[in-house]
Structure 1
Amino acid sequence: MIDNTAPVQRQLDAYNAKDLAAFISCYHSDIAIYRMPATHPSLKGCAALEAFYKTERFSIVALRAEVLQRMVVGNKVIDHEKVYGMAEQPYEVVVVYEVQDGLIVNAWFYPVV
């Protein structure tokens, strides 16, 4: 049985370690990132993902995320996360990761309001 949580957990660990190479290695080369309710990706492809996280995320000293709850449905891994360091107060987000062949191919970010 395939463990679709493995690449999702690896990218979370790399995110918290700010290990850009390890983080990017969890994603398919054609990764599409959606910030909902968007109908088009906000980021497309590993090069765009790497550039964004290098300059806009991993430069934030206090940046980290923790999973509050995880659910797996087929090849979708749904994480309820708390993110620290992006704002004065931590905020929550739900992320749906679609995994194929051990890599994340799509990710949808839903703000929790």
Structure 2
Amino acid sequence: MSDEAVNVVQRQLEAYNARDLEAFMAVMADDVVALDTETGAVIASSSAELRPRYAKRFETPVHCELIGRLACGDTVVDRERITGLPGGAAADCMAVYTVKGGKIQRMQLLWKAAD
């Protein structure tokens, strides 16, 4: 399963960097759950809730540099550096993706402002 999960997460990363909302959403399950790992807050509990968040994000010149990746079964953990955020901000991110049926079912995101 790791190969399939890695392929799905890689497609998500490529769509993010292309700021291609349709391709990005195509790898999300309808009932995808996105969580802020630090606070435990639910960012979105469906693709319908996630879409406007990333539509807004893709209006900026965001870019995700993959620093490292681990995979085990249906879970992929990416270490990322995000640049091009509003106001020219950058962030360090750890993202844990759970892939089921060829779609991202769960995203757990830990963000820190980059120095």
In the alignment of these two chains, the number of paired residues is 111
The structure richer in strand per residue is: 2
| Superposition RMSD in Å | 1.6
Q: What is the TM-score of this pair, normalised by structure 1?
A: 0.89
Q: What is the TM-score of this pair, normalised by structure 2?
A: 0.88
Deviation at 1:29, TM superposition (A): 0.2
Change (3 A) 1:89 1:48: closer
Between the aligned residues of both structures, percent identity stands at 29
Task: Tell me what 2:78 maps to.
Answer: 79
Instruction: Structure 2: state its 5+ residue gaps.
Output: none
Deviation at 1:47, TM superposition (A): 0.9
Matched letter for residue 37 of structure 2: M
Task: Tell me what 1:111 maps to.
Answer: 111
Q: What SS does the aligned partner of 2:97 have?
A: strand
Deviation at 1:46, TM superposition (A): 0.8
Change (3 A) 1:89 1:41: closer
Change (3 A) 1:40 1:91: closer
Q: What SS does the aligned partner of 1:39 have?
A: coil
Describe the superposition over 1:41-92 as per-residue Cα deviations: whole angstroms up to 9, x where unpaired. Answer: 111111111111112x0110x2110110000011110000010011535321
